[in-house]
């Protein structure tokens, strides 16, 4: 089972076994698998640079022995028919998952990978189709297969911003990289965010255009793809609720960043203009520039996709279902959503994924809206423009309208959550347990630092011309280390398992008016969630910011992966086990930027009954990452955001709750920027 951290969803799934490089039943070591994947994804637009893989690509016959496939070769025979009939998308062409035919082709290849019984069959197919299929389709299929196939459990995927740099890097920098390669002159080039100071959105570009944020977003959608069918291998537990929560957290976090920079919260209405335009300053490797959108564009119907009226009808049907308290499935049966699991059904409906019980009636609001908003530069195909940034999960968050779109959908989710009855005091109380004190050790302070990544895969390549060092560096948000200090009393007379849940929300809104508790809890950012054993009497808990369950470290660079893999092939420990997941916000993104005066936040800690919360055993024993495997059961029985996920008509319920603590803190940013040297 491959293990992943999921933004604000995660909790320890037990004390994990040694994840060092080992051999599988087929004899291939994890180090060899890592080696293979490194070379399959390196220089993706050129020839394979590993002689063994190149030999497989040239000599392997995918249909020679169908006994190596768990579906008796059905998937590979289907793909080979389309390949032989020249029906597949050519190489050196853009790829978008939102293009139905291109998605079908990528999933045909994924279907081959997921049905391989052994690594040799897996990697041989990968090498073979890498040379014959569209590069974007291949990269997508391989990434999702490595994430979900048990054959690749311990493989660390390289950062997508080094595999396909065009999707993450300004075109001006890409042009400079080409000049460096052509003149054989090494270069490090400074990247900047799109726009100028004349554009207010420039103040928060560091958030949406952060390559770690881009990586998180696309990786989450690979971990929980909307096209997933359980017949592939396993069920994605609480997938619809995960979709809601991850995007809810991105939305409230973006609004907190806007408050840090004196900007109003975002909103989107289909009958009002898109006030803020966007110029991506990025280009496809093959296919031209990403389309720009001017200011104050009125929404138009998109030919071949949807009318705005269609989206309004779908929205009204979903809101009608919320008002009635049930979803109607395709057989006409009622599915009750007036309970804690109703959000899971609603998430499947709104996205919509193949888990939706009635996609014909409720449509695919999220996926269709992404395309409609992304095509507003050329809604009628008059100029034959390629897909916009919103039609790629890698690039979507670069456009500020992404957060406006998800705020629109978040309001629909809120309508459902607010229809549920508030929690009672009895439901919220953890009898005999009280939070006595909360403190922060170390100032909550953010700063910017320059981050460098490699651009060697951005330029055209041939074995006859030597590589030169080409990279770019870009500013990114980070924070200084801090600790949560939490004093908890356990007067139950015995040791108990407890869940510690930490949230924060801005104290004041954009008009300087204090958020009510009910307003604040919906805008709460989840900072951490972990299990701990409380001994009788006083307990002093210290939780480091670096231990947060909602974050992951930076993905290792290609260079690091090559070095570590070489060491592992020589018998050393790879040191890569902590990087097997990229599904989470970067740890450096744990807290919002804040400002010079200190942006005030309400920080709350809820200590709840761990025995009742835990869906798995031994959750308190994991002292490293808090992992959640998409292949298994989600570790926390409670709804995401509990106990702040339901409306609070009377905040005195929480004020008088012994197992709930509430303090105010400030997040500072003093303009510090650690420059590239």
- What is the CATH classification number for the domain harbouring 42? 1.20.1370.10
Please say which residue of 356, 385, 419 terminates a domain. Answer: 419
The answer on pLDDT for 394 being more than 70 is yes
Name the one residue in this structure whose structure tokens are 């203009």: 273
Q: For the domain that residue 337 is a member of, what is the CATH number?
A: 1.10.1280.10
On whether both 316 and 395 belong to a single domain, the answer is yes
| Whole-number Å distance between alpha carbons of 344 and 331 | 19
Q: Quick check: 582 and 186 in contact, CB under 8 A?
A: no
Q: List the structure tokens of 140.
A: 């997508």
Structure tokens at 537: 């009497």
Helix, coil or strand: residue 133 = coil
CA 401 to CA 409: how far, in whole Å? 13
DSSP 541-560: EEEEGGG-TTEEPPPPPHHH
Confirm whether 564 is domain-assigned.
Answer: no
Give the integer Cα–Cα distance in Å for 424 and 319.
Answer: 26
Asked if residue 473 and residue 401 are part of one domain, the reply reads: no
pLDDT tens string 274-300: 999 999 999 999 999 999 999 999 999
Tokens linked to 71: 């579906």
- The more confidently predicted of residues 582 and 89 is 89
- Does the pLDDT at position 490 exceed 70? yes
Q: How far is CA 640 from CA 274, 306, 354, 517, 604, in A?
A: 31, 32, 22, 18, 16
Per-residue H/E/C for 167-179: HCCCHHHHHHHHH
Q: Is the domain of 510 the same as that of 539?
A: yes
Q: Do residues 307 and 431 share a domain?
A: no
Does residue 378 sit in the same domain as residue 270?
A: yes
* Number of domain units in the chain: 3
Helix (H) or strand (E) holding 141: helix 135-148
Q: Is the per-residue pLDDT at 628 higher than 80?
A: no
pTM of the entire predicted model: 0.94
Domain at 498, CATH number: 2.60.40.1520
Q: How far is CA 70 from the centre of its chain?
A: 30
Mean pLDDT, the chain, as a whole number?
A: 92
Instruction: Pick 614 or 128 by higher pLDDT.
Output: 128
Q: Are 545 and 445 in contact (CB under 8 A)?
A: no
End-to-end CA distance of the chain: 41
Which residue, 141, 134, 123, 106, is CA-closest to 60? Answer: 123
Q: Which two tokens stand for residue 598?
A: 């200190």
Q: Which region among 50-54, 174-178, 324-328, 552-556 has the lowest average model confidence (pLDDT)?
A: 552-556
> Alpha carbon of 98 to those of 92, 102, 103, 106, 203: distances in Å?
18, 8, 7, 11, 30
Domain-located, residue 219? yes
Residue range 420-448, pLDDT digits in tens: 999 999 999 999 999 999 999 999 999 99
pLDDT at 631: 59
pLDDT class for 417, splitting at 50, 70, 90?
A: very high
Q: Between the CA atoms of 652, 655, 660 and 666, what dihedral angle is there, to the nearest 10 degrees? A: 120
pLDDT at 371 over 60: yes
For residues 566-573, average pLDDT: 86
Q: For 42-118, where are the alpha helices, taking DSSP H only?
A: 51-59, 74-84, 100-114
Task: Judge if 361 and 314 occupy the same domain.
Answer: yes
Q: What is the pLDDT of residue 205?
A: 96
In a domain, 185, yes or no: no
What does the pLDDT look like over 236-271, one tens digit per residue? 999 999 999 999 999 999 999 999 999 999 999 999
513 & 407 share domain: no
- CA gyration radius, the chain: 25
* Residue 180 counted as domain residue: no
The average pLDDT across 145-152 equals 95
What is the pLDDT confidence band of residue 465, given thresholds at 50, 70 and 90?
confident
Maximal CA-CA distance, the chain? 75
pLDDT confidence band for 227 (50 / 70 / 90)? very high
- Residue 368 falls inside a structural domain: yes
Confidence of residue 126 (pLDDT cuts 50, 70, 90): very high
Give the model's pLDDT for residue 471: 97
Q: Give me the pLDDT at residue 1, please.
A: 37
Percent of residues in the chain assigned helix, strand, coil, to nearest 5: 40, 20, 45
**pLDDT above 70 (res 12):** no
Helix segments in 506-627, DSSP class H? 517-522, 558-569, 610-613
Look at residue 122 and tell me whether its pLDDT is greater than 90.
yes
Domain shared by 302 and 385, yes or no: yes
Is 114 part of any domain? Answer: yes
The pair of structure tokens assigned to 249 is 């957290």
List CB contacts of 220: < 8 A, sequence separation 6 or more: 6, 7, 246, 583
**Which pair of tokens denotes residue 393?**
């999960």
Residue of 233, 230, 228 whose CA lies nearest to 2: 233
CA–CA dist 382, 515 (Å, integer): 47
- Do residues 541 and 486 lie in contact, with contact meaning Cβ atoms separated by under 8 Å? yes
pLDDT tens digit string along 172-202? 999 999 999 999 999 999 999 988 889 999 9
**pLDDT of 99:** 96
The rounded distance, in Å, linking the Cα atoms of 501 and 1 is 27
Q: pLDDT class for 386, splitting at 50, 70, 90?
A: very high
Label residue 630 by pLDDT band (50, 70, 90): low
Tell which of 155, 188, 205 closes a domain: 155
Give me the torsion for CA of 396, 402, 408, 413, rounded to 10°: 40
Are 429 and 280 in the same domain?
no
Do 438 and 304 belong together in one domain? Answer: no
pLDDT tens across 300-342, in order?
999 999 999 999 999 999 999 999 999 999 999 999 999 999 9
What is the Cα–Cα distance from 119 to 549, expressed in whole angstroms?
32
- Of 433, 521, 443, 426, the residue nearest 483 (C-alpha): 443
Give the Cα separation of 386 and 390 in Å (integer).
11
Q: How far apart are CA 192 and CA 205, in angstroms?
A: 10
Sign of the Cα pseudo-torsion (159, 641, 205, 586, in order): negative
| pLDDT at 214 (0 to 100) | 93
Asked whether residue 306 falls in the same domain as residue 286, the answer is yes
Q: Which range is least confidently modeled, 161-165, 547-551, 567-571?
A: 567-571
CA–CA dist 230, 185 (Å, integer)? 50
Do 522 and 582 meet the contact criterion of CB atoms below 8 Å apart?
no
Q: Are residues 230 and 335 in the same domain?
A: yes
- Tallying the residues shown for the chain, one arrives at 677
Q: Which of 189, 224, 273 is nearest to 458 (CA)?
A: 189
pLDDT of 23: 45
Crossing angle (nearest 10°) for helices 365-374 and 342-351: 30
Q: Residues 6 or more apart from 27 whose CB is under 8 A from it? A: none
Tell whether 25 is covered by a domain: no
- Residue 407 confidence (pLDDT) above 90: yes
Evaluate whether residue 182 is within a structural domain: no
Q: Confirm if 97 and 140 have CB atoms less than 8 A apart.
A: yes
Identify the domain containing residue 151 by its residue range.
30-155
pLDDT of residue 574: 74
Is residue 596 over pLDDT 60?
Answer: yes
The answer to whether the CB of 143 falls within 8 A of the CB of 582 is no
Band of pLDDT at residue 622, cut at 50, 70 and 90: low
Q: In what helix (H) or strand (E) does residue 607 lie, and over which residues does it extend?
A: strand 599-609
> Which of 400, 419, 438 delimits the end of a domain?
419
Closest CA to 24 of 155, 158, 156, 157: 155
Burial class (CB in 10 A: 0-12, 13-18, 19+), 13: buried
């Amino acid at each position: 089972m491959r293990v992943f951290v999921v933004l604000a969803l995660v909790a320890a799934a037990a004390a994990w076994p040694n994840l060092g490089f080992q051999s599988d039943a087929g004899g291939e070591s994890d180090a060899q698998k890592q080696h293979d994947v490194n070379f399959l994804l390196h220089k993706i637009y050129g020839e394979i640079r590993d002689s063994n893989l190149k030999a497989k690509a040239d000599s392997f016959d995918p249909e020679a022995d169908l006994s190596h496939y768990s579906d008796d070769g059905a998937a590979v025979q289907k793909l080979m028919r389309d390949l032989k009939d020249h029906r597949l998308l050519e190489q050196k062409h853009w790829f978008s998952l939102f293009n139905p035919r291109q998605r079908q082709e990528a999933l045909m290849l994924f279907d081959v990978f997921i049905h391989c019984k052994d690594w040799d069959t897996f990697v041989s197919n990968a090498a073979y189709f890498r040379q014959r299929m569209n590069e974007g389709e291949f990269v997508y299929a391989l990434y999702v297969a490595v994430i979900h196939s048990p054959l690749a459990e311990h493989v660390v995927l390289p950062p997508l911003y080094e595999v396909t740099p065009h999707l993450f890097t300004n075109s001006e920098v890409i042009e400079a990289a080409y000049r460096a390669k052509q003149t054989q002159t090494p270069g490090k080039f400074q990247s900047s965010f799109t726009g100028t100071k004349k554009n207010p959105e420039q103040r928060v570009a560091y958030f949406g255009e952060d390559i770690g944020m881009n990586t998180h977003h696309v990786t989450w959608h690979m971990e929980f793809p909307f096209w997933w069918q359980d017949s592939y291998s396993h069920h994605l537990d609480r997938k619809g609720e995960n979709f809601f929560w991850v995007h809810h957290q991105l939305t409230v976090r973006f609004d907190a960043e806007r408050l840090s920079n004196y900007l109003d919260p975002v909103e989107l209405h289909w009958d009002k203009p898109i006030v803020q335009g966007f110029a991506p300053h990025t280009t496809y490797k093959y296919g031209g520039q990403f389309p720009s959108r001017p200011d104050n564009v009125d929404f138009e119907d998109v030919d071949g996709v949807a009318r705005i009226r269609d989206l309004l009808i779908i929205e009204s049907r979903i809101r009608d279902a919320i008002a009635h308290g049930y979803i109607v499935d395709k057989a006409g049966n009622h599915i009750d959503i007036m309970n804690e699991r109703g959000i899971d059904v609603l998430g499947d409906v709104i996205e919509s994924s193949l888990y939706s019980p009635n996609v014909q009636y409720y449509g695919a609001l999220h996926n269709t809206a992404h395309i409609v908003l992304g095509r507003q530069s050329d809604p009628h195909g008059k100029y034959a423009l390629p897909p916009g940034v919103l039609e790629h999960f890698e690039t979507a968050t670069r456009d500020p309208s992404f957060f406006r779109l998800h705020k629109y959908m978040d309001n629909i989710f809120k309508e459902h959550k607010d229809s549920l009855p508030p929690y009672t005091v009895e439901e919220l109380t953890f009898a005999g347990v009280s939070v006595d004190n909360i403190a922060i050790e170390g100032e909550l302070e953010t700063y910017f630092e320059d981050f460098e990544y490699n651009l060697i895969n951005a330029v055209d390549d041939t074995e006859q011309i030597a590589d030169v060092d080409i990279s770019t560096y870009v500013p990114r948000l980070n924070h200084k280390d801090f600790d949560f200090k939490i004093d908890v009393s356990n007067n139950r007379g015995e040791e108990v398992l407890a869940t510690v849940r930490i949230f924060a929300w801005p104290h004041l809104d954009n008009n300087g008016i204090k958020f009510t508790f009910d307003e604040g809890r919906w805008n709460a950012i989840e900072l951490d969630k972990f299990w701990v054993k409380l001994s009788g009497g006083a307990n002093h808990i210290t939780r480091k910011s670096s231990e947060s369950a909602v974050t992951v470290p930076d993905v290792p660079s290609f260079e690091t992966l090559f070095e570590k893999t070489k060491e592992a092939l020589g018998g050393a420990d790879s040191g890569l086990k902590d990087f097997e997941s990229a599904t989470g916000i970067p740890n450096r993104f744990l807290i919002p930027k804040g400002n010079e005066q200190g942006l005030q936040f309400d920080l709350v800690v809820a200590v709840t009954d761990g025995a009742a919360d835990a869906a798995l055993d031994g959750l308190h024993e994991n002292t490293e990452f808090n992992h959640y495997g998409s292949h298994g059961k989600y570790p926390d029985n409670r709804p995401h955001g509990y106990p702040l996920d339901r409306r609070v008509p009377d905040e005195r319920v929480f004020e008088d709750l012994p197992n709930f603590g509430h303090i105010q803190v400030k997040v500072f940013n003093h303009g510090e920027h650690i420059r590239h040297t």
